[in-house]
Amino acid sequence: MHAQGRSVGLGLALVSALAFGGSGVAAKPLIEAGLDPLHVVWLRVAGAALVMLPVAWRHRALVRRKPALLAGFGLLAVAGVQAFYFASLSRIPVGVALLVEYLAPALVLGWVRFVQRRPVTRAAALGVVLAVGGLACVVEIWAGLSFDLLGLLLALGAACCQVGYFVMSGQSGEGEDAVAPLGVIAYGLLVGAVVLTVVARPWGMDWALLGGAVDMGGSRIQAWVLLGWIVLIATVLAYVTGVVSVRRLSPQVAGVVACLEAVIATVAAWVLLREHLSLPQIVGGAVVLAGAFIAQSSTPRPAGEEPVASGSGSAGAFEGAGTADGVAGRGAPSEVQDAEGSLSAGRTTP
């Protein structure tokens, strides 16, 4: 039974990675067709929030228990990460944007070391070095950056939003005070939808575009089909399967599978959007993933425990986020767990 449970968990984790990995590929044709990136994010978050309303009602006690956590998840992990990620897609390839977001685990460890002034292990430091070095190859820094600088900064903004949420998530409680991950996701989507409504002002959107077809790598596809994929598959299904899978797998295995999201997104963008990467960029991407995995599996323990980032932490108490949408190898403090498992395999986007 245990082996069967792990097999089911692995299958669900793969489904989650596939679903999250397809968000950027589905969103980019809508953006290139004329929709503002913020409008695409609003459509995604608002649609998913409506689907998750029953879950939010079931966990309504969270509003009283953890208002700061819900607000942080909505503002940073949902609205912030996805807005920056989708904005970056209008300027740089999907795979590059997602790989930049894989700096988040390394940035978390940087916060621990230089802001909190807590020691990190050599394994954690190695993960940071690999992630940064791999990213230098992805952006071909020797050529003076082969991609749009603003696009790269927007993707980095998504990673920083993840870091802000990861830092705050350490206050979410343990044991009897721990939170239900699906409840946090549901309310995070609701908060994100409210915030994005104010920021994106969807009443000015070109709604007629959603009734037509858009170009996707030379093929024409209905815009509503892509939007349906983004909301139902790349958000709702991705989050739910991520939560269920991480309860059946070890954090380390879940983290390895989560790293497939960037691979899936890059391959899908290559096939469907004709966004080709060079050999050095592919090698650099593999190094980024390796560094991100080492960094996230060396997650800090709660303050007061020795030593920080010893490699026994979760492969991501949050992820997402999905995350990019799914935000991608998103390791976070391992203490943020509910009674049954960690929150959504660390997903905050895309």
Give yes or no for a contact between 49 and 189, defined as CB atoms under 8 angstroms apart: yes
Q: How far is CA 55 from CA 26, 52, 59, in A?
A: 26, 5, 6
pLDDT given for residue 336 in this prediction: 33
**Dihedral in degrees, nearest 10, Cα atoms 100, 106, 108, 111:** -110
Q: Rg of the chain's alpha carbons, rounded to an integer?
A: 18
pLDDT given for residue 329 in this prediction: 36
Within a 10 A sphere around the Cβ of 112, how many other Cβ atoms? 21
Model confidence, pTM: 0.78
Beta strands in the chain, from DSSP E residues, in sequence order = 213-216, 219-222
d(CA 21, CA 261): 5
- Bridge partners, residue 342, by sequence: 337
pLDDT given for residue 325 in this prediction: 46
pLDDT along the chain (350 residues), means of 10: 69 85 92 94 96 95 90 90 91 85 77 80 80 79 70 90 74 62 91 94 92 91 96 91 74 64 83 84 85 67 42 33 40 35 47
d(CA 139, CA 160): 18
φ, ψ of residue 313 to 5 degrees: the values are -75, 175
Output the six-digit token pair for 200: 């994106």
pLDDT given for residue 34 in this prediction: 92
pLDDT given for residue 11 in this prediction: 84
CA angle 225, 227, 233 (to 5 degrees): 90
pLDDT given for residue 255 in this prediction: 60
pLDDT given for residue 39 in this prediction: 95
